[in-house]
């Protein structure tokens, strides 16, 4: 028994922001877990050569990931399907395409393939690679690197939806504005040069790592609301110790059901993420209806 309608295909969500440290990878992990807890079959794709999402799954990018287990074979053109790169994870219901530093080479390989073969569409490698598995998952989540790289462009072009984690502080807000202008430049370039037009079923801006002690964040929050309007999800992820220690021993809020530091802190973080999953799940169902 599956949640998506008959004939429906996986909704692919890219987690993106060209800034590092804004909670992209944490968001990708929590979404994967939270959606799978509600019965969705999830494929998580780590498209960041730093392999942080892979690490959160307990797999060490430098020593435990082969090139075959990443998107590298797609990038090199050794395969046209992502299937052979997929591995199961400790988390039931979530499969993973891992990442390692081997993916740094994608930034040279993709443009050089394009140079050798003008027909080669450098932005479409992940999208085409997913085609083979889109009817086997409900949701595909792609964690992206903090840059407008060839791999990031691929992730966005493969995605039906975009989630942009954004802490409400001035510098992160400023770089998010840059994110949108770079991305729309890129999109209009592809439209002009290749006849591609890219739209998303939904774009959510997620206020993440919100520090309640930071008085400046109220001001920035109002800038964000004015700029992104209804794209901003009506929930904030607090900055909590329970989340920051997730990469170490505790796991995410979905791996643990209590936090030794403070039960209240744990409940606050857990409730916020549950609410995000509610909202994202509603958007996913809506996308299925419009498929
Ligand atoms: P990105 O992928 O954007 O670089 P990460 O998800 O890796 O961001 O988060 C960067 C750091 O911030 C990590 O150490 C992570 O554990 C921490 N972090 C993320 N979200 C929160 C939060 N809500 N509260 C506290 N720390 C957080
Ligand atoms: Mg990351």
Ligand 1: atom nearest CA of 247 is 16
Q: What is the pLDDT of residues 74-98, one digit of tens each?
A: 999 999 999 999 999 999 999 999 9
pTM over 0.90: yes
HSE-CB of 92 using CA atoms within 13 angstroms: 3
**Which CATH code of 3.40.50.300, 1.10.150.120, 3.30.1050.10, 3.30.1490.20 fits the domain covering 11-285?**
3.40.50.300
Protein residue closest via CA to atom 27 of ligand 1: 244
For residue 142, how far is its CA from the centre of ligand 2 (angstroms)? 11
Give, rounded to a whole angstrom, the gap between the first and last alpha carbons of the chain. 20
Q: Which two tokens stand for residue 222?
A: 């109002």
Coil/strand/helix, residue 166: strand
Q: Are 85 and 65 contacting, i.e. CB atoms less than 8 angstroms apart? A: no
Cα(167) to centroid(ligand 1), Å? 10
- Where the chain has pLDDT below 50, the residues are 246
Nearest to 73 by CA among 125, 17, 135: 125
Q: Given this model, what pLDDT does residue 256 score?
A: 77
The span from the CA of 34 to the CA of 47, in Å, is: 20
Half-sphere exposure of 175 (CA within 13 A, CB side): 18
Give me the pLDDT at residue 250, please.
53
pLDDT of the residue at 70: 98
Closest ligand to the CA of 29? 1
| Model pLDDT for residues 151-209, shown as the tens digit of each residue | 999 999 999 999 999 999 888 888 877 777 777 777 777 777 777 777 899 999 999 99
CA of 288 to the centre of ligand 1 (A): 30
Task: Single out the residue of 279, 224, 261, 289 nearest to residue 30, CA to CA.
Answer: 279
The answer to whether the beta carbons of residues 51 and 61 sit under 8 Å apart is yes
Sequence ranges of the domains in the chain: 11-285
Ligand 1: residues with CB < 6 A are 20-26, 52, 146, 208-209, 237, 239-240, 243-244, 246-247
Interface confidence, given as ipTM, is 0.99
What pLDDT score does 9 carry?
A: 95
Beta strands 202-210 and 161-166 are parallel
């Amino acid at each position: 028994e599956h949640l998506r309608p008959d004939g429906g295909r996986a909704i692919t969500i890219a987690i993106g922001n060209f800034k590092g440290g804004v909670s992209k990878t944490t968001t990708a992990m929590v979404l994967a877990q939270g959606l799978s807890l509600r019965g969705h079959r999830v494929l998580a794709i780590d498209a960041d050569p730093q392999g942080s999402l892979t690490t959160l799954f307990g797999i060490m990018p430098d020593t435990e990931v082969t090139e075959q287990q990443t998107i590298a074979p797609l990038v090199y053109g050794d395969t046209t399907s992502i299937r052979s790169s997929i591995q199961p994870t400790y988390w039931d219901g979530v499969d993973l395409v891992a990442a390692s530093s081997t993916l740094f080479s994608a930034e040279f390989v993709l443009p050089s393939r394009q140079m050798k073969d003008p027909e080669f569409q450098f932005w479409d490698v992940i999208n085409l690679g997913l085609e083979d598995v889109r009817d086997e998952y409900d949701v595909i989540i792609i964690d992206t690197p903090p840059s407008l790289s060839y791999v990031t462009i691929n992730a966005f072009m493969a995605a039906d939806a975009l989630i942009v984690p954004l802490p409400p502080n001035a510098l992160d807000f400023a770089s998010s504005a840059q994110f949108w202008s770079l991305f729309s430049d890129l999109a209009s370039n592809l439209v002009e040069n290749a006849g591609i037009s890219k739209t998303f079923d939904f774009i959510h801006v997620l206020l993440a790592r919100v520090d309640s002690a930071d008085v400046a964040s109220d001001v920035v929050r109002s800038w964000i609301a004015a700029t992104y309007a209804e794209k901003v999800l009506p929930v904030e992820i607090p900055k909590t110790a329970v989340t920051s220690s997730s990469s170490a021993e505790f796991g995410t809020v979905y791996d643990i059901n209590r936090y030794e530091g403070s039960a209240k802190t744990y409940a606050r973080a857990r409730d916020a993420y549950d609410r995000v999953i509610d909202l994202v799940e509603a958007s996913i169902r809506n996308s299925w209806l419009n498929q």
